[in-house]
Structure 1
Amino acid sequence: MVYYFESDVVSPPSLLFMGFDKNENEDLIKWGWPEDVWFHVDKVSSAHVYLRLRPGQTIDDIPSAVLEDAAQLVKANSILGNKMNDVDVVYTMWSNLKKTPGMEVGQVGFYKEKEVLKIRVAKRINDIINRLNKTKTEAHPDFRAEREKRDRLEREDKKKILREHKKKEEEEEKHRKAEAEVRSYNSLMNPENMEKYDDGNDSDDFM
């Protein structure tokens, strides 16, 4: 089971979600999307919360209000973290999550520590948690099927862009050739480049 939330501090709302338990967290780690940002309370057990970025958006583009929503949601879903003030929440792109065979279910590391960002949460803000909980929905998605569909659509979009690019290049080449032909014809018809027939005889009598 996965819980979905909408962060409506932006328009359209941003999508936040988390697994019901460590088994769902494991599936989310395995079948996450390149657009997913992972959040977790630093050095304390907590839920794994994800934010799905929009196409073209980067981790540095996340609005501060959305970032605060995600951090508050992580803190509220940590048994220890929820009771603490001044906790740090770490976040990084899904692609930076590292899973090795010796790790426990739901446990992750990082490929690049320098790509792990951190935000300080001074205290729980109930207004934010209550607002997010009003948007909460549950679902039982097929993680693998959703990821494969996402990848297939991306491939189709790339192929479409390549086709459009090739078509544009062909049209530009056709246009260049047409212009070259016009220039060549105009040059040929230029009086200065035309040869005048002259046999050196002013008479029209060939006999």
Structure 2
Amino acid sequence: MVLYFKARPEVGDYTIFMGFDKFENEELIKYGFPEDVWFHVDKMSSAHVYVRLHKGQTFDNISEGLLEDCNKVNNIDVVYTPWSNLKKTATMDVGQVGFHNSKMVRTVKVEKRINEVINRLNKTKVERTPDLRAEREAVNAAERAERKLQLRDKKRREEMDRMEKERQAEVRSYKGLMVAEKMTSNKQIASESKSLQEMEDDFM
């Protein structure tokens, strides 16, 4: 089971979610989205909390209000990092993670639990048992289709550019043939050619 919450409206349309136990946490680690940011109380056993950012947004510009909504315990440090920075090895326990790059881990100090925040979030709580693998595969399929479409558009633009370059080359070539110095007038042809009478005389 995964628990979903809605962040305060003034910070934007964000979904905060967490696994009900370590097994759901394991699934969230495995099938996260590139937009997900992972939160955890530093050096303590606690829930894995995630927030799903908007496309193109980075975890460096998460608002203070959204950070506050993701943290619920008194006087602790909370670490957070992009989902893609989570590292899982075969020797780790269920739900346990490390980091690929420690420089991509941020820490925020939570001085005091704010009950008002907790109560507001709890009013938005929804419990679901999602098929996280299917959700991730659906996103992967959509991304592949988008990349395929972009590649097709790119090839079409390249082909149009190639045809336009060929057309421009033909125009330049035609203009080169029409240069005055390279042209011969009918008068010149007539003056340089033998007359019919002269040709008959030569034949005789």
- Superposition TM-score, scaled by structure 1 size: 0.85
Matches of 2:153 and 2:180, distance apart in 1: 43
Q: Give the RMSD, CA atoms, in angstroms.
A: 2.0
The residue number in structure 1 matching 2:155 is: 166
1:124-170 deviation line (CA, Å, top 9, x unaligned)? 12232223222221111011111111111111111111111111111
The reply on whether 1:123 has 2:112 as its aligned counterpart is yes
Cα separation, 2, equivalents of 1:201 and 1:21: 102
2:88 to 92, 99, 103: 99
More helix by share: 2
Runs in 1 of length 4+ with deviation above 3 angstroms? 195-206
Give the corresponding residue for 1:38: 38
1:202–1:158 CA distance, 2 compared to 1 (3 A): closer
What is the identity percentage for the equivalent residue pairs of Structure 1 and Structure 2?
Answer: 54
Instruction: Tell me, in whole angstroms, the C-alpha distance in 2 between the residues paired with 1:183 and 1:161.
Output: 33
- CA distance, structure 1, for counterparts of residue 4 and residue 60 of structure 2: 23
Query: 1: distance between equivalents of 2:156 and 2:193?
Result: 58
Question: Which residue number corresponds to residue 173 of structure 2?
Answer: 184
Work out the number of aligned pairs and report it: 195
Residue type at the aligned position of 1:54: H
User: What are structure 1's unaligned runs of at least 5 residues?
Assistant: 77-81
1:12-56 alpha-carbon deviations (Å, 9 max, x no partner): x01211011111111111221222111001112211011112222
Q: Secondary structure at the match of 1:38?
A: strand
TM-score by length of 2: 0.86
Partner of 1:79: none
Partners of 1:190 and 1:130 in 2: CA distance = 85
